[in-house]
Amino acid sequence: MVNKLRKKFVITAMLSLLVILVIMIAVINLVNLHQMTRDADNLLTMLCDNDGYFPGMLDNKDMLPPGVNTSDNPTEGNSSDNQDPWRKKNEPDFKNSSDPFAFDALNNMRTMEMPYQARYFWVKFSENGTVADIDVSHVAAIDEETATTYATDAYNSSRKKGFHRSYRYKKGTTSDNLTIIIFSDISGSLINVYKLLGQSLLVGACTLIAMFILVFLFSGQAVAPVVESLEKQKRFITDAGHELKTPLAVISANVDVLELESGKSEWSASIRNQVKRMNSLVKNLLTLSRMDEERMHVVYSDFDMSAAIKETATSFEALAEAGNKKYHMDIEEGIHITGDKNSINQLASLLLDNAMKYSSDKGSINVMLSKDKNIVFEVSNTSDCIPSGNLDRLFDRFYRADSSRSRETGGYGIGLSVARAIAMSHGGNIEALKDGDRIIRFVVTLPKVLPKNLQKTGK
């Protein structure tokens, strides 16, 4: 039980951290990708608004590609110094700045260096769709032929902007009504995006590993109060069960004496019936407590499960006949299993007793045992009051779908819990299935070979 609680605690904590890390990494990288795209779009917008040039670029011949005519530019040669207007306009004043690494100073410096760092090319198209002009002087990896191919693809596209390989492009219109398509190289930014993604995944993986080690080391202390409470509950159930056996035995003996002296009566029969119910409850509680023990000393052995199930099922034939219920057995012969024979007999008895109590009047009960990949033991019965919703609740301790019916049949809502505990103690499972509106099936699946961890536990 302690190991199961620790395992659940560790898994829950790790899954919670994993979800948080996945969300954080996704948000950080998506924001970074959005910022990269926005910066590229801002650059392209600036170039589109200025016919493919940076503001003030036409005033500085050193910044222009060969062949660009600036003779009509009225500002040419009128500069008071050798600085181009772009640099002069955006140069940060480090002399008057108290902190040259302040955000404003850095941003101004970045703006000033933008024309010299940006890698881009553009192609202009006339109204009839022919190439009017090309500028590839600001990029090294693209020639005019490749630029024409890229631009033609973008020109024929209905999109105003988008991605083309490692370039971000945007369409615009120049002052002389030409269509301009500008491509900005974002390969460097993409590399940074990939680096951030790899670094964030690495940090996330290291965080998960570190968290797993810490959670695993401290999980014992975290579940200690719960473990202590469960241990006290099991100890109480065990002690109370053994203490109840003595008075129940005395009451039963006293009833026998009373019946010898005064004869049987309605009251003695009622007392005997209640003693029987209490004995059954105590037995089931002790079984649950024993099944909860991880290190219970149970010796598993190979036995004929077909014979054991058939023996138990046969004992219910008379009860079914007395209740005018159809009773059918389909038990495959020669099925052997390694386990606790008494527990398997109790499992079959619990399921059959449950079917007898809750089957409809003049209904039917079917018992089936077969072997394929696993050993399958099934008990089904017709019922007029199959609970709706999740049938797995039937295996909860003291859960009763119909309390009034349970009082009539003498059930405590613990038998199916014991059945599940027995199935799980043999490495299997049990589930309740609804077959139509009137048939409920309890299917027990057991492995042919007992798992190694249970073999070690049972020795």
Distance in angstroms (rounded) separating the CA atoms of residues 166 and 169: 10
Task: Domain 296-458: give its CATH architecture.
Answer: 2-Layer Sandwich (3.30)
pLDDT confidence of residue 330: 92
CA 420/CA 429 separation, integer angstroms: 7
Give the pLDDT of residue 280: 74
Residue 243 has a pLDDT of: 75
Specify the pLDDT at position 288: 65
Q: What is the pLDDT of residues 208-254, one digit of tens each?
A: 999 999 988 888 787 777 777 767 766 776 677 777 777 888 888 88
Lowest mean pLDDT among 62-66, 157-161, 329-333: 62-66
Both structure tokens of 14: 């790790």
3-state secondary structure at position 249: helix
Taking Cα atoms as reference points, which of 128, 106, 111 lies closest to residue 54?
111
Q: Pull the structure tokens for residue 170.
A: 């945007």
- Given a contact cutoff of 8 angstroms between Cβ atoms, the answer to whether 338 and 301 are in contact is yes
Is residue 179 pLDDT above 90, yes or no?
yes
DSSP string, 258-275: HHHHH---HHHHHHHHHH
Using only C-alpha atoms, the chain has a radius of gyration, in whole angstroms, of 41
> Among 99-103, 255-259, 434-438, which stretch is predicted with the lowest mean pLDDT?
99-103
pLDDT at position 2: 67
> Where in the chain do CATH 3.30.565.10 domains reside?
296-458
What whole-number distance in Å separates Cα of residue 58 and Cα of residue 70?
7
Residue 76 pLDDT = 44
Write the CB contacts of 298 (distance below 8 Å, at least 6 apart in sequence): 340, 343, 425, 457, 458
Q: How confident is the model at residue 78 (pLDDT cuts 50, 70, 90)?
A: very low
C-alpha 356/C-alpha 359 separation (Å) is 6
Average pLDDT (420-448) is 87
C-alpha torsion angle, residues 444, 284, 325, 304 (rounded to 10): 50
Residue-by-residue DSSP string for 132-187: EEEE-TT-SS--HHHHHHHHHHHHHSS-SEEEETTEEEEEEE-TTS-EEEEEEE-H
Cβ pair 358, 367 in contact under 8 A: no
Instruction: Report the DSSP beta bridge partners of residue 339.
Output: 301
Give, for 303, the enclosing helix (H) or strand (E).
strand 301-304
Determine contact, residues 415/398, Cβ cutoff 8 Å: no
Q: CA 389, 394, 400, 401: dihedral to nearest 10 degrees?
A: 30
Q: Is the pLDDT of residue 70 over 60?
A: no
Q: Residue 395 — very low, low, confident or very high, per pLDDT cuts 50/70/90?
A: confident
pLDDT of residue 295: 45
Higher-pLDDT residue of 2 and 316 is: 316
Angstrom CA distances, 14 to 103, 197, 209, 374, stand at: 39, 21, 9, 33
Task: Compute how many other C-beta atoms are within 10 angstroms of the C-beta atom of residue 169.
Answer: 26
Mean pLDDT value across the chain = 80
pTM here? 0.56
Residue 406 above 60 pLDDT?
no
Higher pLDDT, 4 or 213: 213
pLDDT at 399: 59
Instruction: Provide the percentage of residues in the chain whose pLDDT is more than 70.
Output: 78
Kindly state the helix (H) or strand (E) to which residue 14 belongs, with its residue range: helix 2-49
Is the pLDDT assigned to residue 409 strictly greater than 70? no
Residue 151: which pLDDT band, with cuts at 50, 70 and 90? very high
413: left (phi over 0), alpha (psi -120 to 50) or beta: left
Are residues 137 and 201 in contact, defined by beta-carbon separation less than 8 angstroms? no
Q: Where are the beta strands (DSSP E) in 306-374?
A: 326-331, 336-339, 364-371
How far apart CA 291 and CA 425 sit, in angstroms, is 7
| pLDDT for 183 | 96
